[in-house]
Structure 1
Amino acid sequence: MSDITFIENASATYEVIEQNGPPAMHLPFEKAKVGRAVRVDAPVLNPITNEVLTVSNIIYEHHDDGRPPERAYWVGRKLKKCIFGVVKECTVLKFRNDFDTPWEVTEEKAAGKIMSWQKIRDLQHIEDPQKEVAAMQFVSREFHPNVMGVLDVLQDEEYLLMFMPFCNSGDLFGFVQQAGRFPEPMARFWFKQILEGLAHLQKMGVCHRDMSLENILIDEYTKSLVIDLGMCLRVPYSNHNGAVGDVTGGGLRRLIPPLIPCGKPNYISPEILTSEGPFDGFAIDIWACGVILFIMLVGLPPWEFARPEDPRYKMVAKGKLAKMLNSWQKPISPEAADLLQRMLMENPRDRLSLMEIRDHPWVMEGAEQSELPRDNEGWRG
């Protein structure tokens, strides 16, 4: 997407999108490119000590044309379970082109998602990780520091293996749990990075559909990355001739017909919960980012579900977010309350666009801030 097209779409109101043409189904991602995995035990050189150690569970891609592998992954400790298998910490190895000692340890780490083909077959009616792989390869066409990319995707008879950059500091949800809630400068620091990740997805024509604190990983305590593209959609756009195409057509995006609700309950927008009409993929991600910011600033979610039966939701829907927070004895600045209120508008026609959020006074405050702020209160505001 060109910068001009991106700005037009990131600024477009719901009404403009609605008038752009009838709703259109989301587009399929291109089929994932998957290499053939080889798993070996092999000697590995430590270049610092010059020691050679034979290690097990080294995985690399086999090239049928005889090319040497670019790198390998020495699979190590388990990081967490996932629905189809496990995520493990891996050490990236460099190929040495030496028959006796073919691999060399590097300082680079990777996260290896090791998924069982049997579990994929059993559960693909619920979720298909091959779609996540295809989506991650799609957004990785253009590197962005705030969106998780993919290094290699490999397979053998038993497993589908996806290797990603390693983040060593947990997720943003854990940070909020530790802090209770964030001081506003700290919340702004993380929120601006989330907006940059969201901007990259919008530029690629992708709707995430599962934005949450749990899906923001932190690396080195200073950088955040949007992860988990398993539920994302490739947004339809109008080409200049009016036909439906992808983001490269240079036109505005289209609404998408209603789908089965997905995502974490706290973060799902009201129009997705009701599924009564078409939705704007960008607007539902804006809503979820509003909930993310709310939790960072307040320390707890605004509601269980964005439904009128919830009195908290009803107050926000009536424009009384600031009053509600004052009653909870968790006040925030008027500028922050205004931003949250305008991101969490019940009607997506009234919700802020990405460009309006970027230009909001609360986001613009401390525009030169590039480092994580520290204060005498520590984590708590």
Structure 2
Amino acid sequence: MASSAPGAGSGGTRRGDTRPAVVVDPEPFPAPRIAPGVIRDCQVLEGPARPPARWRAFGGRSQESVRWLRCLVSAETGRAYCFTRTLRECIFGVVRHGVTLEKDAGAGGVYRLCPSQPVAIKCVSKQKIEEGRGRLRENPIDELAALQMVGAGGGHQHVQRLLECLEDDEAIYAVSPFYQGGELFAVIEARGGGLPEARARTFFSQILSGLAFMHDRRLCHRDMSLENILVDGQDGVIIDMGMCLRVPLPPALPPSHPDDPETPRVLLRKQGQCGKITYMDPVVLEDKDFDGFAVDMWACGVILFILLAGVPPLELPALTDPRYRMIQAGKLGELMDVWEMRISREAKHLLESLLKAVPEERAKMEEVIRHPWLTG
């Protein structure tokens, strides 16, 4: 159901997007595709696949051993993954590190480790899903559907890939590549300050590229943060779609014309507070109807600020925070001067464009990706 809205967000004179707005409910996600799986012990070969050449010349044999390991196996395809260690706990279960297995040629039902193909397996308890239904903001079933929507057609280099989704009677298992560099937040913490501007630009461009890919598919993330960006080599990868929503097209408008200048803006009906408070859009903190894409852009502004300064621009987006009061008053530039942030004029301008308290005034994705700081 849709209704008209005279404006959005925290008030103020709109100098940006002045189109009328319609308020709608998020579009439901389709049911994700989940294949049957089983947890069982498998025989796994460890050691070199073939003996070194110098051994073979003298009739040497490979130094292999066979171990029984606890594994997740697809009942349909036979693909298998062995569990190695626990990475972290999550609301509905646990994330475990694993290694892909392949059937060993000529060894019957024995598998061989593929150390070059590590995975992260999110093990989600079905009981906890039921216990949290209607009570928690995060929805692990919708998260799987969002990952499959993003991954359709090959996915995107800077958005988490879902390799496989399996289930048994107890749990659902979401298998993704293991991104070995950890959280981007930890990279900043380890430095004890912001990144060089060129390195921050690289990461931010990657984050925007992945997020734009999601927005093009009418998906807003709602929990963008440095903690939800993992580092894979030199790349940043967006993860954790548990609060993702589908943004409908404006009602009764042709799907082929979503960017028509007369097309109303779409606001999502208020969903309660969600996301991390430091990155939260003021509108979400106030629990008002919101522009899902603008919510992500505010969080991107906070991400960029931390990438450059090493600290967030505010603690929470409320008038009780003196730094937020400066941002709301349009004095972010003064705040950056007080902190003696040694960044380029273009970087300051981009931050000021993103960290606008009024969503209608905030820079949109298409404006940000064309900004001189990113293109120059």
Q: Is the 8 A contact 2:139 2:243 kept in 1?
A: no
CA offset at residue 97 of structure 1? Answer: 7.0
- TM-superposed CA distance for 1:159, in Å, is 1.7
The superposition leaves residues 150-198 of structure 1 with CA deviations (integer Å, 9 ceiling, x where unpaired) of: 1111111222111111100111100111121111111111100000111
Q: Aligned residue pairs: how many?
A: 338
Instruction: Map 1:44-63 onto structure 2 (within 5 A).
Output: 44-46=44-46, 47-48=49-50, 51-63=64-76
Instruction: Return 5+ residue gaps in structure 1 as ranges.
Output: 1-12, 366-381
Aligned residue number for residue 15 of structure 1: 18
Could you say which residue in structure 2 is the equivalent of 1:255?
267
Pair 1:327 & 2:335 matched? no
- Partners in 1 of 2:65 and 2:18 — Cα distance? 65
SS at structure 2 position matched to 1:255: strand
**Normalising to structure 1: TM-score of the pair?**
0.83
The alignment's TM-score, normalised by the length of structure 2, stands at: 0.84
Aligned to 2:189: 177
1:150 aligns with 2:153: no
Structure 1 SS opposite 2:122: strand
Contact 2:222 2:295 in 1 (8 A): yes
Cα distance in 1 between the residues matched to 2:367 and 2:185: 26
| Matched residue type, 1:81 | E
* Counterpart for residue 38 of structure 1: 38
Whole-angstrom distance in 1 between the partners of 2:227 and 2:131: 25
Q: 1:74 is matched with which residue?
A: 82
1:341 aligns with 2:341: no
Instruction: Tell me if structure 1 keeps the 8 A contact 2:44–2:69.
Output: no
Q: Residue 214 of structure 1 corresponds to which residue in structure 2?
A: 227
Taking the aligned partners of 1:255 and 1:91, their CA distance within structure 2 comes to 43
Deviations 1:307-346 (A, max 9, x none): 2232211112222212112212334222111110110111
CA contact (8 A) 1:29 1:138 kept: no
Q: Which of 301, 307, 310 does residue 312 from structure 2 map onto?
A: 301
Question: What is the letter of the counterpart of residue 240 of structure 2?
Answer: D
Bigger shift: residues 115-124 or 105-114: 115-124
Amino acid at match of 1:303: L
1:26 matches 2:26: yes
Separation in 2, partners of 1:349, 1:135: 26
Closer, same or farther: CA 35–351 of 1 in aligned 2, 3 Å: same
Picking from 221, 227, 235, the partner of 2:247 is: 235
* 1:77-96 map, 5 Å: 77-96=85-104
Query: Does the Cα contact within 8 Å between 2:103 and 2:109 map onto a contact in 1?
Result: no
Look up the equivalent residue of 2:368 and give its one-letter code. Answer: I
Q: Is 1:123 paired with 2:126?
A: no
1:138 maps to which residue?
Answer: 149
> In 2 relative to 1, CA 139–48 (structure 1 residues): closer, same or farther, beyond 3 Å?
farther
Structure 2: which amino acid aligns with 1:149? Answer: R
Q: Is the 8 A contact 1:59 1:72 kept in 2?
A: yes
Contact 1:44/1:101, CA 8 A, preserved across alignment = no
Share of identical aligned residues, percent? 37
Q: Distance between the aligned counterparts of 2:286 and 2:72, measured in 1? A: 45
Work out whether residues 256 and 279 of structure 1, in 8 Å CA contact, stay in contact via their aligned partners in 2. Answer: yes
Partner of 1:364: 375
Bigger radius of gyration, 1 or 2? Answer: 2
* Amino acid corresponding to residue 312 of structure 1 in structure 2: R
Equivalents in 2 of 1:76, 1:249: separation in Å?
A: 48
Q: CA deviation at 1:52?
A: 4.7
